[in-house]
Amino acid sequence: MTEFDGLPVLRSPVAIAAFEGWNDAADASTAAVEHLQEVWRAREIAALDPEEFYDFQVSRPTITGSSGDARRIEWPTTRFMVASPEGTDRDVVLIHGIEPSMRWRTFCEQVLELCHSLEVNRVVLLGALLADVPYTRPLPISGTASEKEAAQRLQLVPTRYDGPTGIVGVLQDACARAEVDAVSFWVHVPHYANNPPCPKATLALLHRVEDVLDLPVPMADMAEEAAKWEARVRTTAEQDAELGEYVRELEERVGDAGIQPLTGDEIAQEFEKYLRRRGGSAGPTAGSW
């Protein structure tokens, strides 16, 4: 492991991790971490030694440097960054990696060793999977949490998937074995619109990050990009009769299943949470007219 100027002392840090590859349909989860790196001006503090974990014929290094400058090799690896979001008394460790080619258990041990050194008290894992979902509806998010109370508070829909897993699933299991509090969010990306980027899926994950951290995430133009993405998919569906019919079937299949209306108390709680994050004043709400 390479450290940069030693490890900093952090304030009640939470780690947020996403990995390129099998766990990252349409690059949606790594795009969420990249967005957080940018809006929170994260600085890099450490990186894993890639020699132990990557097949460089699969994840090839790249060479960079403009004409006349010294050329250098960028090795594929997993990097750790630290951000200090405004308006909160905690720091956030952002882990942006590539699913390793080998030695997954050792990889997880090193990730958790660094998290332990930084005194991280929770690991949030982001993933994206392909699914039969209509692009016209909010994209579902499933997930798991090591603590039952956290799962209930975050209203996590547990996954019923059985089969091969990726590094996100393995790392969450490693967290459980190490008694580290962990939660995962998996956004469901329409499989017929899986070319990256998918800003609607990334936006859904960022809203979940807001929930788990209970602080606002600057969204920049993410909502606008999500609307443009949806418009492009709509145009494609309108031009492809078979795809259009398939989307309509998905909409009918989903219907209103699983969409439960909020009670008045739940609406009030969500509104108070929104105000606390945004630091704004209350505007008109249901029942105030």
* pLDDT average, residue stretch 178-187: 94
* 146 confidence band (pLDDT: 50, 70, 90): confident
Residue 220 lies in a domain: yes
Structure tokens at 20: 């390129």
Structural domains in the chain (count):
1
79-83, strands of its sheet edge to edge: 2-3, 43-47, 79-83, 92-98, 14-20, 122-131, 182-190, 141-145
Residue 60 lies in a domain: yes
Do 190 and 131 meet the contact criterion of CB atoms below 8 Å apart? yes
Structure tokens at 266: 């739940």
Q: How far from 250 is each of 45, 47, 176, CA to CA, in Å?
A: 45, 42, 36
Residue 43 lies in a domain: yes
* pLDDT of 162 higher than 80: no
Provide CB contacts within 8 A for 143, sequence distance 6+.
154, 156, 157, 158, 159, 183, 184, 185, 186, 208
**Distance separating alpha carbons of residues 196 and 23, to the nearest angstrom:** 14
The letter for the amino acid at 163 is G
Flag the least confident range among 19-23, 80-84, 164-168, 285-289. 285-289
**Distance separating alpha carbons of residues 156 and 50, to the nearest angstrom:** 34
Do 23 and 172 meet the contact criterion of CB atoms below 8 Å apart? no
Residue 261 lies in a domain: no
Structure tokens at 169: 């699933």
Residue 59 lies in a domain: yes
**Distance separating alpha carbons of residues 277 and 88, to the nearest angstrom:** 10
User: Considering all CA atoms of the chain, what is the largest pairwise distance in Å, rounded to the nearest integer?
Assistant: 67
**Distance separating alpha carbons of residues 155 and 282, to the nearest angstrom:** 25
Residue 63 lies in a domain: yes
Return the CATH number at 102: 3.40.50.10900
Question: Which comes out higher in pLDDT, residue 163 or 236?
Answer: 236
For 200-226, what is each residue's pLDDT tens digit? 999 999 999 999 998 889 988 999 999
For 224-283, what is each residue's pLDDT tens digit? 999 999 999 999 999 999 999 999 999 998 764 443 333 445 434 544 544 454 454 333
pLDDT at 228: 96
As a whole number of Å, the CA-based R_g of the chain is: 20
* pLDDT average, residue stretch 55-60: 91
Residue 103 lies in a domain: yes
Residue 239 lies in a domain: yes
Structure tokens at 66: 């403009």
pLDDT at 154: 80
* pLDDT of 36 higher than 60: yes
Tell me the residue range of the domain where 61 lies: 2-254
